[in-house]
């Protein structure tokens, strides 16, 4: 009875804020029935709506009362002021709670036909669509950052479906390599921490092939109901009921999952408890990268689905929404890269690189740290173009760029400075540390051999590094910020350029750190 009274107070409070006139009028009673249908009991306890669901619910509430002169954000603020909003609700198991409520209503003979737009039924009893809260929350959180969206999707699909574990991978469609990106609720390390091609014929290899053409050896499994596959233009899934019965099963990995493995840091889920799973993937062969979400319930040793039909319906709704957003985010990322990246090498272009330099310079001033810069030039680059042609010269630039990028620190920033020159910003790196990074880059390029026909061509670089003190950094920051000095004439860039000149004239294929004797007159 107390719970019913608390819920009635909540409904009354919302109706009042929506501007209902006359609490016992026909209009008032009709609106309250709609409000009651929009707010499931599993997200409104003790007469309050869970804080992490208040915004999507308020969007729907505003739609119920179009005559109101406020937006959803204003309604949220008013309900918070009325203390009708609680803290964050733990999303784990939320979907199961909705299913239990659905079962309770069904047991009471309530035939619920969802009315599109408001979520109420036609027989006078109202109930929210059991996908509304989780899906709308995800819609509000998703943005233009592809990597951030992965975390949002992982968290929301885990919460909505109530699965115990999610692993996120990406597949490079060019190289067919898998790479592990994120994990939540799963034990152990992945074999795909570094990009790798799955072994021919095993589980992940089959999933890769699914994206392009159904492998012939899967038809029997489909016929016997051991797997289910759904694929459309932008997303799909492969549900495996019992991987131990599949001819593509990786028996060694199955044993590790069930009985543990020291190398992969797995305790093991127990015999028979790591066999049911579902792969959900987004993208297709025309995309550069495909995202794969591996969902399991191994940690809680329960079936993957509470109600398979209902859970798959939710998965379809989730996937359709996320796929559409993902396409938009990927397109946005490509547009952003066109504005900030060098088209040939994929590194930061000159203009964007200069902006990043200003950010690092400001950080050096603020935190009283030294700042270093490395200028890199490919030795005898003109000869590559003249002897082997410009396409080969372009290949050299791409290979050198990616090799350099792989040898700098996580906090360093690399860009194409111009022609065959590259620049690397080295934050908080005293002179000796900067030279060490330079030497690491030089030696990596020295080992680089680029194929041309039936032979390989060696490539070498010369590198000049320079460092400025905290005091010099502050002077430089003031000069550049005021527009009194072109970027290439700044003291740090000039010193690195002088050191590069010394490396070139000292025999090339070496690293030189600036000293006063190098200063040009």
CA 490, CA 128: separation in Å to the nearest integer? 62
Q: Provide φ and ψ at 73, rounded to 5°.
A: -65, -40
Query: Residue 310: which region, alpha, beta or left (left: phi > 0; alpha: psi -120 to 50)?
Result: alpha
Q: Which residues are catalytic?
A: 420
The β-bridge partners of 461 are 378
**Concatenated DSSP letters of 64-82:** H-TTSS--HHHHHHHHHHT
Q: Which residue has the tokens 């000039």?
A: 494
Contacts of 64 (CB under 8 A, 6+ apart): 18, 31, 34, 35, 38, 118
CA 185, CA 279: separation in Å to the nearest integer? 16
Give the C-alpha distances (Å, rounded to integers) separating 271 from 165, 264, 268, 465.
Answer: 18, 17, 8, 58
- Which candidate, 484, 404, 420, places its Cα nearest to that of 412? 404
- Which candidate, 163, 201, 382, places its Cα nearest to that of 277? 163
Both tokens of 89, joined, read 């609700």
Q: Please give the span between the terminal C-alpha atoms of the chain, in angstroms, as a whole number.
A: 91
Task: Report the 10 Å Cβ neighbour count for 23.
Answer: 11
Residues in the chain: 521
**Concatenated DSSP letters of 84-152:** -B-SPPP-TTHHHHHHHHHHHHHHTT----PPTTT-B-TTS-B---TTHHHHHHHHHH--S-HHHHHHH
The answer to whether the CB of 294 falls within 8 A of the CB of 167 is yes
Contacts of 454 (CB under 8 A, 6+ apart): none
The answer to whether the CB of 105 falls within 8 A of the CB of 94 is no
Q: Which residue has the tokens 């990009």?
A: 195
292-319 core/surface letters (b: 16 or more CB in 10 A; e: else)? bbbbbbbeeeeebbbeeebbbebbebbb
Both tokens of 117, joined, read 């737009």
């Amino acid at each position: 009875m107390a719970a019913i009274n608390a819920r009635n107070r909540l409904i009354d409070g919302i109706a009042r804020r929506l501007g209902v006139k006359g609490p016992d009028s026909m209009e008032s009673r009709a609106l309250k029935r709609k409000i009651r249908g929009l707010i499931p009991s599993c997200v409104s306890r003790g007469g309050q709506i869970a804080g992490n669901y208040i915004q999507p619910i308020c969007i729907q509430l505003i739609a119920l009362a179009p005559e109101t002169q406020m937006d959803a954000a204003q309604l949220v603020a008013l309900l918070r002021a009325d203390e009708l909003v609680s803290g964050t609700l733990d999303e784990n198991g939320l979907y199961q709670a909705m299913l239990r409520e659905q079962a309770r209503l069904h047991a009471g003979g309530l035939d619920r036909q969802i009315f599109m737009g408001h979520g109420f039924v036609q027989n006078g009893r109202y109930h929210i669509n059991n996908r509304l809260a989780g899906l709308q929350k995800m819609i509000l959180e998703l943005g233009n950052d592809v990597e951030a969206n992965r975390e949002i999707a992982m968290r929301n699909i885990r919460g909505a479906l109530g699965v115990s574990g999610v692993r996120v991978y990406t597949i490079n469609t060019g190289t067919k390599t898998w790479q592990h990106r994120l994990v939540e609720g799963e034990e152990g390390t992945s074999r795909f921490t570094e990009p790798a091609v799955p072994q021919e014929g095993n589980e992940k290899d089959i999933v890769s092939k699914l994206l392009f053409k159904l492998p012939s050896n899967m038809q029997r499994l489909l016929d016997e109901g051991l797997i289910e596959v759904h694929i459309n233009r932008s997303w799909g899934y492969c549900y495996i009921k019992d991987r131990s019965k599949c001819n593509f099963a990786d028996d060694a990995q199955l044993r590790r999952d069930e009985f543990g493995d020291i190398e992969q840091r797995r305790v093991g889920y127990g015999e028979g408890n790591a066999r049911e799973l579902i792969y959900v993937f987004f993208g297709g062969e025309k995309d550069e990268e495909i995202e794969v979400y591996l969902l399991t319930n191994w940690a809680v040793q329960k079936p993957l689905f509470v109600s398979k039909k209902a859970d798959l319906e939710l998965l379809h709704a989730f996937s359709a929404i996320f796929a559409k957003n993902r396409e938009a985010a990927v397109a946005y990322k490509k547009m952003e890269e066109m504005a900030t990246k060098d088209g040939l090498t994929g590194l930061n272009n000159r203009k964007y690189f200069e902006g990043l330099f200003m950010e690092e310079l400001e950080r050096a001033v603020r935190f009283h740290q030294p700042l270093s810069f490395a200028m890199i030039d490919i030795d005898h680059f003109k000869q590559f173009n003249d002897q082997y042609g410009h396409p080969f010269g372009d290949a050299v630039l791409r290979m050198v760029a990616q090799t350099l990028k792989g040898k700098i620190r996580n906090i360093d920033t690399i860009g194409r400075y111009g022609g065959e020159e590259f620049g690397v910003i080295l934050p908080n790196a005293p002179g000796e540390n900067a030279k060490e990074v330079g030497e690491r880059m030089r030696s990596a390029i020295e080992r680089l051999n680029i194929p041309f026909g039936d032979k390989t061509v060696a490539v070498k670089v010369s590198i000049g590094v320079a460092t400025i003190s905290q005091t010099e950094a502050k002077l430089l920051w003031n000069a550049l910020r005021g527009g009194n000095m072109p970027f290439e004439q700044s003291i740090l860039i000039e010193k690195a350029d002088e050191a590069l000149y010394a490396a070139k004239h000292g025999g090339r294929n070496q690293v030189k750190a600036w000293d006063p004797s190098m200063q040009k007159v």
